[in-house]
């Protein structure tokens, strides 16, 4: 693992702000690394490892983190998260998996077009490079009522910043931290139509965000 990889692995985390009664989930590839770097010193709990808890989805938060505060503190935290537009989210994964440290590995997209990557993502049995999970599944509300109370669009991060500043009583200053290689990505209309049909829940959830 390179020094750069270690640096960003440490920064990306799930955070709990107990006084504000708020848990901030770390949805992969939602571009909040810089924000989390600014918030980290103010958090009461920062989970950077293992990945299963660092990137804990709602169902895992509900099983392990929520009961801890409920049983020990008698407190129910509200949950906040960011969701990225589904095509853009897949583009971020595709670019990330172009990185040199994955060359020659099954997770690499180096010799795969973005169009083929998305088509493979829509398959029932995804190849390793397209097996990147689901934002809708990550954010899915649980039968006991545990859910994301405050969901924001990645494309409108200023609203998320304003919410956090008001909720935490902070002034948040960030600088861009983008470690994925920049590239122009194109998706054919046919492939996008397949994606929207096969993964309708992703678009429905994103479109439901105010």
Nearest to 61 by CA among 72, 39, 77: 77
Q: How far is CA 151 from CA 9, 84, 147, in A?
A: 23, 10, 10
Residues 160, 19: contact at Cβ < 8 Å?
no
Structure tokens belonging to residue 1: 């693992």
Residue for token pair 């139509």: 193
Residue-level pLDDT at 5: 39
Q: Which of 23-27, 171-175, 189-193 has the highest mean pLDDT?
A: 189-193
pLDDT of 10 over the 70 cut: no
**pLDDT over 90 for what percent of the chain?**
73
Residue-level pLDDT at 52: 76
Distance CA 168, CA 179 (A): 28
Residue-level pLDDT at 182: 65
Q: Which phi and psi angles does 153 have, rounded to 5°?
A: -85, 135
In terms of residue numbers, what domain contains 15? Answer: 3-208
pLDDT of 1 over the 60 cut: no
Residues 129, 120: contact at Cβ < 8 Å?
yes
Residues 187, 114: contact at Cβ < 8 Å?
yes
pLDDT of 147 over the 50 cut: yes
How many CB atoms neighbour CB 72 within 10 A?
8
pTM: 0.88
The total of structural domains in the chain comes to 1
Residue-level pLDDT at 7: 34
Look at 6-10, 59-63, 78-82, 178-182 and tell me which has the smallest mean pLDDT.
6-10
Pairing of strands 14-17, 22-24: antiparallel
Distance CA 172, CA 170 (A): 6
Over the stretch 69-125, which tens digit does the pLDDT of each residue have?
999 999 999 999 999 999 999 999 999 999 999 999 999 999 999 999 999 999 999
Residue-level pLDDT at 175: 64
What one-character DSSP code corresponds to residue 62?
I
Distance CA 98, CA 102 (A): 7
Over the stretch 132-141, which tens digit does the pLDDT of each residue have?
999 999 999 9
For residue 24, list its beta bridge partners: 15, 80
């Amino acid at each position: 693992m390179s020094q750069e990889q270690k640096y960003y692995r440490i920064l990306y985390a799930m955070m709990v702000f107990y006084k504000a009664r708020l848990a901030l989930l770390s949805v992969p590839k939602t571009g909040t690394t810089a924000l989390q770097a600014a918030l980290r010193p103010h958090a009461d709990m920062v989970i950077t490892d293992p990945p299963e808890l660092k990137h804990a989805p709602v169902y895992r938060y509900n099983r392990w983190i929520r009961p801890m505060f409920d049983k020990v503190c008698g407190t129910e935290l509200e949950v906040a998260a960011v969701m990225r537009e589904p095509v853009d989210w897949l583009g971020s994964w595709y670019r990330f998996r172009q990185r040199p440290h994955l060359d020659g590995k099954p997770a690499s997209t180096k010799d795969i077009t973005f169009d083929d990557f998305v088509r493979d993502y829509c398959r029932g049995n995804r190849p390793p490079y397209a097996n990147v999970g689901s934002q809708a599944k990550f954010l899915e509300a649980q039968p006991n009522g545990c859910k994301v109370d405050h969901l924001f669009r990645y494309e409108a991060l200023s609203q998320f910043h304003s919410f956090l500043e008001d909720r935490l009583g902070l002034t948040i200053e960030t600088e861009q931290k983008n470690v994925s290689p920049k590239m122009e990505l194109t998706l054919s209309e046919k492939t996008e139509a397949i994606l929207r049909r096969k993964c309708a829940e992703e678009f429905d959830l994103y479109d439901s965000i105010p």
